């Protein structure tokens, strides 16, 4: 089977399967006001999440016209095909392949008024360690960063570098959003480094919070 056809079929079947699966889930959300207030004020945002929790969070924000950065790897191709069916505009590239051009492209989408989404520990990890591209995008666009995390006690965990999560049927999915963070246009390298450490810590704090809630049902 030709690669393009294989990816297309896998993307459509994957999207239909996940729609059926996640359609049975119940989402319990905390902190949504952090991004909703920005959108009501006409300000698009940059969503930042860890790669392993991509499925429940991209499903939750489907059909909102978000542009997202996805690697050019084979795994990235399958993910791109699924999320495109959920209404995402995908920009292909990563820190290892095509990163500079992809970053310029996604910045253009942000400046045009789209919200953006980054998984800054992808495409190969280390898990839950933040790469700086999202901060550069925030610096160039002036858009606020919204960290978010999701967890469930009923899920399949894949033993790759990111411990990729797919919720099981009828799961209760806990989601938490952090407060918006702005990166100054004139931020210096040491300030960007400090912002990266702070954002990484906030993402991990949110992860610990939703994981604790999921552990208690």
Q: Count the alpha carbons within 13 Å of 202 in the hemisphere toward its beta carbon.
A: 18
CATH assignment of the domain containing 188:
3.40.1130.10
Helix/strand/coil for 145: strand
- By residue range, what is the domain housing residue 178? 3-215
Structure tokens at 93: 């590239």
Has residue 90 got a pLDDT over 70? yes
The pLDDT > 70 percentage for the chain reads 94
Helix/strand/coil for 85: helix
17: how many CB neighbours lie within 10 A of its CB? 12
Q: What is the pLDDT of residues 165-210, one digit of tens each?
A: 999 999 999 999 999 999 999 999 999 999 999 999 999 999 999 9
Spatial separation of the C-alpha atoms in residues 109 and 104, rounded to whole Å: 9
Q: What is the pLDDT of residues 99-120, one digit of tens each?
A: 788 999 999 999 999 999 999 9
- Which DSSP helix (H) or strand (E) runs through 24? none
Structure tokens at 184: 């100054």
The pLDDT > 90 percentage for the chain reads 80
Has residue 8 got a pLDDT over 80? no
Overall domain count for the chain: 1
Helix ranges (DSSP H) in the chain: 3-22, 33-40, 54-60, 74-85, 99-111, 133-141, 189-215
Predicted TM-score (pTM) of the model is 0.93
């Amino acid at each position: 089977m030709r690669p393009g056809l294989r990816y297309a079929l896998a993307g459509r079947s994957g999207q239909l399967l996940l729609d059926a699966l996640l359609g049975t889930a119940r989402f319990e959300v905390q902190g949504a006001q952090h991004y909703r207030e920005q959108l009501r004020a006409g300000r698009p945002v940059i969503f930042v999440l860890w790669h392993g929790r991509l499925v429940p969070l991209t499903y939750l924000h489907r059909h909102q016209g978000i542009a997202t950065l996805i690697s050019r790897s084979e795994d990235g191709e399958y993910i791109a095909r699924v999320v495109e069916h959920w209404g995402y505009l995908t920009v292909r590239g990563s820190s290892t392949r095509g990163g500079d051009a992809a970053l310029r492209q996604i910045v253009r989408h942000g400046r045009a008024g789209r919200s953006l989404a980054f998984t800054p520990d992808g495409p190969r990890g280390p898990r839950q360690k933040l790469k700086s591209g999202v901060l550069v995008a925030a610096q160039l666009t002036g858009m606020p960063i919204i960290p978010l995390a999701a967890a469930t006690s009923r899920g399949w965990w894949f033993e790759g570098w990111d411990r990729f999560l797919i919720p099981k049927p009828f799961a209760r999915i806990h989601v938490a959003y952090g407060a918006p963070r702005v990166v100054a246009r004139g931020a210096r390298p040491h300030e960007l480094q400090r912002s990266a450490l702070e954002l990484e810590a906030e993402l991990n704090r949110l992860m610990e919070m939703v994981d604790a809630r999921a552990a208690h049902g």
